[in-house]
Amino acid sequence: MTEQTQLDLAETAAPDGGGAGASKAMAFSFGEAESVLDRRELSQYFEIWHNGRWFEPPLPMDKLCQAFNMAPHHSSAIWLKVNLLVGAHVPTAKLSSDDFERWALDFLQMGNGYLEDIPNRGGGTARLDHASARHMRAPKDPNEGYFFIGSGVAQEHQFAPGRIFHLQQPDVAQEIYGLPAWLAALQSGLLNENATLFRRRYYLNGAHMGFILYVSEAFSDQETADQIEKAIKAGKGAGNFKNMFLNIPSGKKDSVQLLPVGELAAKDEFSGIKNISRDDMLAAHRVPPILLGIVPQNAAGFGKPSEALDTFYLVEVVPIIRRLLRVNDWAGSEVLQFANYDASDGSQITPTGKRIAAASED
């Protein structure tokens, strides 16, 4: 949760009177901003522990789900890879296009992808269904089946042993669960989100950082000051910047001064933060900026999109395809198939990364 800062109300008797009805100096503040995601839970690694039946993931799966939409360049990069995979995927009788897409999305975002083997009457594989990575848990005993853990109390289901295929992006610290390859850019993605939220709150707050409402004249009674305080609190917008009402009876013009360090204007470096965090996410995903619709800032541009796509497919998508094809070894049959990719020069790239030269026109 976001840490809240409190300012104690200061009440002192007016210098020209100490009666019960005399006005008192008062100050209060409000409008503390809150973040959408708890960054501390996402940035800390925890030891892999178990409850006697299954292991808990090293990072909260619910938080990784929320992080999918933390920044447009993150979700767009994930979807670009998924779209290229879906475009090359050849549906089979045992693995539908819908189940494959969900499985691929889980693998790229969560670092783990699960498929459930649905048996036929003869004990073979009838089809493979997607199992959500958010709810799957690895058993403590490797001879037992995986668990599906629901969000409610006592909502759990244990699969039969050998019915779940678990594909993971390897982690250097443990081998029970995978971790997504983009995890190094998590803080950059959250910074990008926070910069956008800051700008939105700044805009909704009337393009200012908050204000001090200073009244130097004494009110006729304390009830009037309380009513003004109540009106200002009730009129503030949700999530706006902190404002302050300050009443000092018989105060001088310079009784309260704001001494800023640097400029008083809001210097949040919005564009710089957005650009730097964007570059971090693109580096983590290894996606050429031209494939995400980013406008070049120089006259030279990013080159031809077709050439960038060919290189990206060969060095990034093909290795993902080869990892996904491991399900065929587990299933004992070719349940997953991919078509060749047509490159811009007329050649083709096979799912294993081999180039087939374009046919001669002679």
Q: pLDDT tens digit string along 56-84?
A: 998 889 999 999 999 999 999 999 999 99
Please indicate whether residue 247 or residue 139 has the higher confidence score (pLDDT): 139
Band of residue 33 on the pLDDT scale cut at 50, 70, 90: very low
DSSP string of 44-65, one letter each residue: ------B-SSBBPPSS-HHHHH
The pLDDT assigned to 14 comes to: 43
Q: What is the spatial distance between Cα 77 and Cα 181, in angstroms, rounded to a whole number? A: 12
pTM: 0.73
Could you give the count of Cα atoms lying within 13 Å of 184 in the half-sphere of its Cβ?
Answer: 10
Strand partners, 262: none
Q: What is the pLDDT of residue 263?
A: 45
Q: How confident is the model at residue 152 (pLDDT cuts 50, 70, 90)?
A: low
Is the pLDDT score of 13 beyond 60? no
Percent share of the chain, pLDDT over 70: 69
Per-residue confidence band for 361, with pLDDT thresholds at 50, 70 and 90? low
Using 50, 70 and 90 to split pLDDT, how confident is the model at 43? very low
How much is the average pLDDT of 152-180?
89
More confident residue, 17 or 10: 17
pLDDT value at residue 25: 56
Q: What is the mean pLDDT of the chain?
A: 79
Cα separation, 109 vs 63, in Å, equals: 11
Closest CA to 104 of 37, 22, 169, 27: 169
- pLDDT score for 115: 97
Q: What are phi and psi of 213, to 5 degrees?
A: -90, 110
**If pLDDT is split at 50, 70 and 90, which confidence band does 237 have?**
low
Which range, 218-232, 274-288, 314-328, has the best average confidence (pLDDT)?
Answer: 314-328
Q: At what angle do helices 97-110 and 72-88 cross, to 10 degrees?
A: 140
pLDDT the model gives residue 226: 79
Q: What is the DSSP letter of 184?
A: G
Residue 239: φ, ψ to 5°: 80, 10
Element (H, E) at 233: helix 222-235
Q: How far is CA 352 from CA 125, 338, 341, in A?
A: 25, 10, 11
